[in-house]
């Protein structure tokens, strides 16, 4: 048996709820064989676990690990050139229309081998671990054809085997329409449901299936078709919903019992009510809007007042959120959305776990 006693912290934040006993002082935490065994008064626990190795917090704050429930952390190069274009005022969706955006990352990724992707990603995961993330969801979505979506998900699995944190894989074949299907969009949807989803399920490579539902990208009907095909293969739905313009993504996510509806910068009041009356978590990604130079953020207070569960994540990706820092996401949430820091920490830990259906794990 190995035991450690974490003591001398100014606060221990349990993240059970932002209200009741979430912030504990004069409290220690005992870990036995890698699992939390007790949280209690420092004096009592130092008697009970007298033989434990002492880990002193030196007055810092102890929180659960961050659960980053929305990332695109497996990619080739950063699209720094697009950041420069946006800084000059060209909008993200316009850059995408000009051949940049997600499709630029697709061209880049298709040229890279699975081994190369594993090698590029490992240091990026090390950076995120350094920032306190202990569980991270990673989406495919830069392959946009079966072989390259499989390449991404196999690389994610290999990375997961080599790092000391949990990685949750998501199929996002419906991230964009690849260039070769620009004028036959329904044919790409057919490819996803008849080829990509069955192939991914056969190798058990993903837990979730996600779609970027947005005007100009996947329609409501296409989104529904893809998510239902995913569900039929055991993949739990998630939706990139109402990011820039309202399209009813939050409403559809609630209707389909999705684990989460993500972004929500343009969610409607009906969408807020739909999420509040469902188990679907509202995942907020304020660092993306910050990187995009936007001043309008998701209506977090309305979501909380309505009774929705919120999660905070980074959206770490090569174009619109080029940082795996949960601290940055928390700072944006507090500075721009007026979230209380404790609410933000709960959303970045317990909220993220709910968005990944890991709250009991």
Q: Compute the least distance from the CB of residue 83 to ligand NIG, in Å.
A: 11
DSSP state of 193: I
Residue whose token pair is 């390259």: 148
Out of 320, 323, 325, 349, the residue judged to bind ligand NIG by CB under 6 A: 320
State how far the Cα of 31 lies from the Cα of 7, in Å rounded to an integer.
11
Q: What tokens appear for 294 in the block?
A: 């936007």
Out of 69, 105, 135, 280, the residue judged to bind ligand NIG by CB under 6 A: 105
State how far the Cα of 190 lies from the Cα of 184, in Å rounded to an integer.
10
| Residue 190: partners with Cβ closer than 8 Å, 6 or more residues away | none
Helix (H) or strand (E) holding 13: strand 11-13
Q: Compute the least distance from the CB of residue 140 to Fe ion, in Å.
A: 12
Spell out, one character per residue from 312 to 351, where the chain touches Fe ion: x when CB under 5 A holds, - when not.
Answer: ---x------------------------------------
Out of 64, 169, 319, 324, the residue judged to bind ligand NIG by CB under 6 A: 319
The residue at minimum Cβ distance from ligand NIG is 319
Question: Which of Fe ion, ligand NIG, none does residue 318 bind to, with CB < 5 to 8 Å depending on kind?
Answer: ligand NIG
Task: Please report how the helices 146-162 and 102-110 are oriented relative to each other, as an axis angle in degrees rounded to 10.
Answer: 80
Question: Which of Fe ion, ligand NIG, none does residue 64 bind to, with CB < 5 to 8 Å depending on kind?
Answer: none
Nearer to ligand NIG, 9 or 92 (CB): 92
315 in contact with ligand NIG (CB under 6 A): yes
Give the binding-site size for ligand NIG (rule: CB under 6 A). 13
72 in contact with ligand NIG (CB under 6 A): yes
Full DSSP string of 90-148:
--HHHHHHTT-THHHHHHHHHTS-HHHHHHHHHHHHHHHHHTTEEEEEEE--S--SHHH
Give the binding-site size for Fe ion (rule: CB under 5 A). 1
Question: Which of ligand NIG, Fe ion, none does residue 105 bind to, with CB < 5 to 8 Å depending on kind?
Answer: ligand NIG
Alpha-carbon torsion angle 222, 225, 228, 233, nearest 10: -100
Q: Which residues bind ligand NIG (CB under 6 A)?
A: 72, 101-102, 105, 212, 240, 243, 288, 315, 317-320
Enumerate binding residues for Fe ion (CB under 5 A). Answer: 315
């Amino acid at each position: 048996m190995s035991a450690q006693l974490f003591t001398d912290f100014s606060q221990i934040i349990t993240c059970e709820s932002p209200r009741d006993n979430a912030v504990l002082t004069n409290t220690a935490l005992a870990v036995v064989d890698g699992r939390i065994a007790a949280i209690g008064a420092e004096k009592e626990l130092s008697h009970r676990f007298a033989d434990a190795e002492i880990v002193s917090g030196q007055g810092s704050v102890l929180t659960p690990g961050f659960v980053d429930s929305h990332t695109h952390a497996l990619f080739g190069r950063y699209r720094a050139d697009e950041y420069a274009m946006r800084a000059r005022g060209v909008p993200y969706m316009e850059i995408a229309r000009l051949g940049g955006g997600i499709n630029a990352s697709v061209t880049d990724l298709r040229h890279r081998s699975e081994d190369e992707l594993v090698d590029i990603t490992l240091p990026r995961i090390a950076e995120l671990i350094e920032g306190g993330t202990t569980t991270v969801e990673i989406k495919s979505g830069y392959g946009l054809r079966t072989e390259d979506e499989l390449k991404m998900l196999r690389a994610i699995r290999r990375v997961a085997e080599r790092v000391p944190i949990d990685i949750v894989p998501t199929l996002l074949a419906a991230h964009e329409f690849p260039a070769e299907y620009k004028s036959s969009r329904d044919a790409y949807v057919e490819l996803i449901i008849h080829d990509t989803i069955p192939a991914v399920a056969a190798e058990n490579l993903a837990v979730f299936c996600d779609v970027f539902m947005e005007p100009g990208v996947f329609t409501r009907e296409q989104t529904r078709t893809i998510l239902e095909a995913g569900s039929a293969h055991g993949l739990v739905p998630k939706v990139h919903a109402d990011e820039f313009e309202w399209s009813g993504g939050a409403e559809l996510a609630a209707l389909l019992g999705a684990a989460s509806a993500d972004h929500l910068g343009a969610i409607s009041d009906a969408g807020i009510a739909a999420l509040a009356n469902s188990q679907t978590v509202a995942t907020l990604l304020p660092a993306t809007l910050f990187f995009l130079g936007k001043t309008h953020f998701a209506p977090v207070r309305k979501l909380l007042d309505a009774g929705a569960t919120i999660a905070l994540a980074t959206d770490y990706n090569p174009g619109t959120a080029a940082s795996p820092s949960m601290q940055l996401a928390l700072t944006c949430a507090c500075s721009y959305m007026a979230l209380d820091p404790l609410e933000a920490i709960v959303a970045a830990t317990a909220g993220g776990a709910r968005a990944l259906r890991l709250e009991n794990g």
